[in-house]
Amino acid sequence: MVSRPNDRGMLLATAGVVFVAALVAMASVAKGQTQTWPYDLTTAGEDVFYTSPTSVANDAWLYDGTYEITLLEVTVSYQGITFGPFDVTDQIDPNDQSGEDTYDGAPPFTIYDDHVRYPDEPDPVTFEADVVMYVDADGYGQIAITNVVLGTAVVDLGWPFGEVETQVESVRIAGTITATPLYPGDVDGDHDVDLSDLSALLAAYNTCDGDPLYDPAADFDASGCVDLADLAQLLAYYGEGT
């Protein structure tokens, strides 16, 4: 006599083999406390650095990281007279003004890393530097602006000078870095995915909002029901943090 597998066994097999990869990519995840760090740095040609005053939890296995530049100002000089600051934020390439990505593994991870030059060669340089934004191993936000070169810029200084070539004296950059630790599959909030999380999810499996057994912590995609998508996400990250 051949026995038939029970429904729960069928669900586990199906989630593990067929649906994990696709559904994990679609589902949202449990989040830790987000840290948003405002920065405001000015360079007159020297290297400048920033370290955030607070840290983000460094025990997650997935992170969302974003950066945004909200202000770019320059101060220039002509014939020994200083002019500005001038707001040139609108001259930033929109592709460089902000960015967001998801990062696997615990910190450190790099949010932005590029050699910045304006304008592009072969035009004479106005501003050039290596810019790195990252979260270090302890969870602190870091910025390093190094190898700074301040050049010249053609600026309309108004009467009586008009449009003239000026010397860039300083550059100010301000904005934010944000980091959010993610704990996909963590039902009980203890920052790991283990048997207790699987048990909690299975206890709420096939329930929806309003059912006394429904557990919103197990509803990773906030669909209102604990279903196969949620089970697939937990199985994909089973063992993380343990």
Average pLDDT by consecutive 10-residue portion of the chain (242 residues)?
43 42 45 91 98 95 96 97 96 93 93 95 96 97 98 95 97 97 92 95 96 94 94 93 81
Expressed as residue numbers, the domain containing 21 is 7-27+186-236
Q: Which residues contact 1 (CB under 8 A, 6 or more apart)?
A: none
Q: Are 136 and 58 contained in the same domain?
A: yes
Full-model pTM: 0.81
Residue type, 86: F
pLDDT digits (tens, 9 = 90+) for 87-113: 999 999 999 999 999 998 889 999 999
Q: Tell me 31's DSSP state.
A: B
Q: Would 242 be classed as within a structural domain?
A: no
Q: Are 18 and 54 contained in the same domain?
A: no
CA atoms within 13 A on the CB side of 56: 32
Tally of structural domains, the chain: 2
Predicted confidence at residue 24, as pLDDT, reads: 40
Q: Would 2 be classed as within a structural domain?
A: no
| Cβ atoms within 10 Å, residue 72 | 21
